[in-house]
Amino acid sequence: MPSSTPVRTAGACTPSTNPTSDPVIEGAGVGLRMPHLGELLADADAEQPQLDIPWLELLADNWLAPGGESLGGINRELLDAASERFALTLHGVGLSLGSCGELDMHYLKRIKQLQRHTGARWYSEHCSFSWESQRQHYAPDLLPLPYTDEAVMLLAQHICQVQDFMGEPLLLENVSSYVQYEHSQLTEAEFINAVLHEADCLLLLDINNVYVTSYNETAAQSAEQGQLPPNDLRTQSLASAEHFLRQMPHQRVKEIHLAGHESIERNDHNFLLDTHSQPVCEDVWRLYQRYITEQGPRATLIEWDSDLPSLAQLDGERRNAQNILDECVHSIPAAHAQQSRDNHPWTQELSTQARPTKILSAKVPSKQVLAP
Amino acid sequence: MSTPSLADIQNQWFDWLDQDQPAIGERFASAHTDHPRLGKTCLNNARLDIYRNNRFQVLLQTLQQHYPQTLALVGGDYFKQLVRLYSRQQPPTQRNLHTYGLSQYQGLGQAADDTTPERHTLSFSQFLHANQDIQSRGLVYLAPLAELESALQRAYFASNDSVWDGEGFAQLSPNTQMRCQLQLSHSLTLLDSRWDLEAIINSITPSEERVKSTQKTLQLHTGDFYFVVYRHTHKPQFYALSGNEYRALTHLRAGGIELADWLQQHTSAAASLAQWISRGWISHFIRAAQDDPNHAG
């Protein structure tokens, strides 16, 4: 039987005044998933916390349920508890930056409310589309864009609108892909460079996605030309992923995602599925370590979405990333590290002032300009 | 090779996603130059099917979470078939799936900009009601059960209520109290059914004691049954009502009735009033305009 305890009153929507409203995001964090939240909060409140997780990423769409003034719905208390104890970032999947038609400013407004409420340090979204504007249907997936000049301009225009509205740079994440378009005019690396340059935004570099895409492309090519032995396939995929990573605009890389994937074999055709249901694989750790060693530390996040492990296991993955970051910091001489950090916009304070609307030039990025 | 526009490509993707036959994936790799095409390296439909399967799995999981009792009743395989049909008929029209498949939700999104307008034309329970296969199998209680589950989900996502101001109400004069209008919780839904949904749910998920003592058989009692669905703290729940209680609460939900008139018309419900307030079913009161010191008139 219900008790006579009244349902709590939702307060007015006001910006958070919690002490973490302007936190520094660095080191290795984890994606916050509800089954872990109780344990995370209990540990944070313990006299001697066992975990040392410096920051959490909120999957923004999970906190946009209707009701409760849209700020986390009835889970608002949990949201407030998390934002009081942890530095946060916001990661979205529903904006559909690459869709033709207008951006959903209503959705974006709710993202902004959520960011203000939680004090989340930045907002990231994906280089993909999931909304079809003619029939107004949504696909809960990250559908790949063709790497064309038209897509560059559309994506850049939408990112500029987001940045103007949010008053800060957006972090764009590369997605994993299982298909390629015949009429792509650019490589994926060229495409990302062009978009980041046009929109003047930052990059959330998902190294697992880079590896999954590289593997899938290599496997598809080898299926046509004669199946490669598994070891050769892996070696070539790793080389392809390294080549991709070398082409990234490193000064724009603000955050790195790491996750696990699954290997699928269907009709004698191998591919990797970006499931976020496994530990980070050895090859992705290798790519990450090399990237961090060469380019310097970046805020790093372990994503794990399905078949959730215990928080202890998830924290084990996070500590692996943290150890790599720590080794990198210790191996760089202090003067060099300082110089390196000063040269990186990611170490600079993100502007909280709205920038003037960026007017896109008519210039179309070309392969020649972007080729290394 | 002509390059299709981005809009065409996206339109084609959704054409393909909205169809159910995996073989349609060949369309992308066909020789038709006027269609957006994927590279020759992707002739294998398995790659394309990842996207369609991803979408279906997300929608399946969403409806599994929204309708766990319906799922338990019909089993995973049949539920999957139903979701496949439903998702084809009713693809998501919102970026937020929290309300996918639910009935039109009243009382949600009290703030004007809380949610984008829900454009579902058919909820999952309405779909079940209209599905001929379900009806021919005699599963006519499935749609009412799903409607109850839909109400539970709506209760979960309902706006928070204000706290009943018992002190403020007590300070009013008896006459002023009688002119007040009582308001129901945002989370509250009233349902009537010819099936005893409580018995059905109990026989689907029997309590530990019942498992020990009785065999699990579906209890299908017909008659006039009434239920209230509401949220207590964070947990949605339902409660069986008498016909009189149902009518009394329905009258309050309709609004516009002063407490004195309501008590006169629902004398048997008056005894339950304090209990309903304590349960949070009645969440606040509105003073009559002439009694409200803040009223401009």
Tokens 């008790």, residue located: A3
Please check whether residue B295 lies inside any domain of the structure: no
Residue tagged 């080389």 (tokens): A239
Reading the block at residue B133, the tokens are 């296969």
Least confident stretch, A167-171, A200-204, B72-76: B72-76
**According to the model, what pLDDT value does residue A336 have?**
52
CA distance A108 to A130: 15
State the pLDDT confidence band at A73, using cuts at 50, 70 and 90.
low
B160 and chain A: CB distance < 8 Å anywhere?
yes
| B174 in the same domain as B150 | no
So what's the pLDDT on residue A67? 60
Instruction: Give the CB-side neighbour count of residue B175, counting CA atoms within 13 A.
Output: 3
> DSSP class of residue A19?
T
Chain B partners within 8 Å of A101 (Cβ) = 7
How high is the pLDDT of residue A300?
98
Bridge partners, A171 (sequence order)? A124, A202
Which residues on chain B are in Cβ contact (under 8 Å) with A148? 3, 6
Q: In the prediction, which pLDDT does A125 show?
A: 98
Higher pLDDT residue, A342 or A227? A227
**Cβ distance A167 to A160 under 8 Å?**
no
- At A183, the pLDDT band (50, 70, 90 cuts) reads confident
Residue A152 has a pLDDT of: 97
What pLDDT shows up at residue B117? 45
Please give the structure tokens belonging to residue A159: 């990112």
* Same domain assignment for residues B16 and B151: yes
Residues B87 and B133 in one domain: yes
Q: How far apart are CA B123 and CA B231, in angstroms?
A: 21
Give a yes or no: residue B15 inside a domain: yes
**Cα gap A9→A76, rounded to integer Å:** 11
**pLDDT for residue A141 is more than 90:** yes
Which residues does residue A205 pair with via DSSP β-bridges, in sequence order?
A: A256
Residue B109 lies in a domain: no
- Asked if B35 has any chain A CB less than 8 Å from its own CB, the reply is no
Number of domains in chain B: 2
**B residues 39-98 near A, CB within 8 Å?**
39-42, 44, 46-48, 50-51, 54-55, 58-59, 91-98
Residues B146 and B238 occupy one common structural domain: no
DSSP H/E element including B80 = helix B76-89
Chain A touched by B38 (CB under 8 Å): yes
CA distance A103 to A117: 22
Same domain as B238, residue B132: no
Site from B1, B8, B9 to mutate, A interface, most A CB atoms within 10 angstroms: B9
Q: What confidence tier does A111 reach under pLDDT thresholds 50, 70, 90?
A: very high
Q: Which of B50, B135, B152 is nearest to B101 (CA)?
A: B152
Same domain, B129 and B176: no
Cα separation, B129 vs A60, in Å, equals: 34
Domain check: are B140 and B243 in the same one? no
CATH of the domain at B194: 3.90.930
- According to the model, what pLDDT value does residue B20 have? 61
**Is B262 within a domain?**
yes
Q: Indicate whether B94 belongs to any domain.
A: yes
B85 and B172 co-located in one domain: no
Q: Are residues B217 and B75 in the same domain?
A: no
Question: Which residue from B minimizes the CA distance to A217?
Answer: B41
> Is B291 a domain residue?
no
Burial of residue A217 (number of CB atoms within 10 Å: 0-12, 13-18, 19+) = buried
- Which of the two residues, A159 and A52, has the higher pLDDT score? A159
Res. A361: pLDDT tops 50: no
Measured between alpha carbons, how far is residue A201 from residues A76, A193, A198 in Å?
30, 10, 8
Whether the CB of A87 is below 8 Å from some CB of chain B: the reply is no
DSSP string, A195-260: HHHHHT-EEEEEHHHHHHHHHHHHHHHHHHH-PPPHHHHHHHHHHHHHHHHHTS-GGGEEEEEEE-
Tell me the three state secondary structure of residue A91.
strand
The answer, for B120 touching chain A at a CB cutoff of 8 Å, is no
Nearest to A148 among B3, B93, B163 (CB): B3
- CA distance to partner chain A, nearest, from residue B55 (Å): 6
Alpha helical stretches, state H, A4-50: 34-45
**A residues 259-298 near B, CB within 8 Å?**
266-267, 269, 271, 273
pLDDT of residue B229: 96
Task: Say if residue A287 is exposed, middle or buried (CB neighbours under 10 Å; 0-12, 13-18, 19+).
Answer: buried
Which region among A127-141, A259-273, B242-256 has the lowest average model confidence (pLDDT)?
Answer: A259-273
Please state the separation of Cα A257 from the chain's center in Å. Answer: 6
Contact status, residue B44 vs residue A223, Cβ threshold 8 Å? yes
Task: Report d(CA B103, CA B124) in Å as an integer.
Answer: 7
Q: Which domain holds residue B266?
A: 166-286
What pLDDT is stored for residue A66 in this prediction? Answer: 67
Per the CB < 8 Å rule, is A3 touching B278? yes
Mean pLDDT of chain A: 82
Nearby residues of A364 by Cβ (< 8 Å), 6 or more positions away: A149, A152, A153
Q: In this predicted structure, which of A139-148, A190-199, B29-38 has the lowest mean pLDDT? A: B29-38
Segment A236-244 long-range contacts (CB within 8 Å, at least 24 positions apart): A237/A211, A237/A283, A238/A211, A238/A214, A238/A283, A238/A286, A238/A287, A240/A214, A241/A207, A241/A210, A241/A211, A241/A214, A241/A215, A241/A283, A241/A287, A242/A287, A242/A290, A244/A188, A244/A189, A244/A210, A244/A214
Q: Which of 230-269 (B) contact A at CB < 8 A?
A: 231-234, 237
* Shared domain check, B171 and B78: no
Identify the residue with better confidence: A318 or A61.
A318
Q: Are residues B140 and B14 in the same domain?
A: yes
Count A/B contacts: CB-CB distance under 8 Å.
Answer: 210
- Strand blocks (E) in A109-153: 123-126, 129-132, 137-143
* Beta-carbon separation of B41 and A136 below 8 A: no
| Residue B269 domain flag | yes
A21 confidence band (pLDDT: 50, 70, 90):
very low
Q: What percent of chain A lies above the pLDDT cut of 70?
A: 79
Instruction: Please tell me the pTM assigned to this model.
Output: 0.81
Which DSSP letter does residue A272 get? E
Task: Name the residue in chain B with its Cα closest to that of A152.
Answer: B6
Mean pLDDT in consecutive groups of 10 residues from the start of chain B, 297 residues: 84 82 41 39 62 92 95 94 93 88 58 43 91 90 95 86 90 95 93 92 70 62 91 87 95 93 91 92 89 62
Contacts of A144 (CB under 8 A, 6+ apart): A128, A175, A177, A178, A179, A181
Considering CB atoms only, which of A9, A65, A217 is closest to B160? Answer: A9
* Residue-level pLDDT at B156: 85
Let me know whether B26 and B148 are in one domain.
Answer: yes
Q: Domain for residue B112, yes or no? A: no
Interface of B with A in 124-153 (CB under 8 A): none
B88 vs A347, higher pLDDT? B88
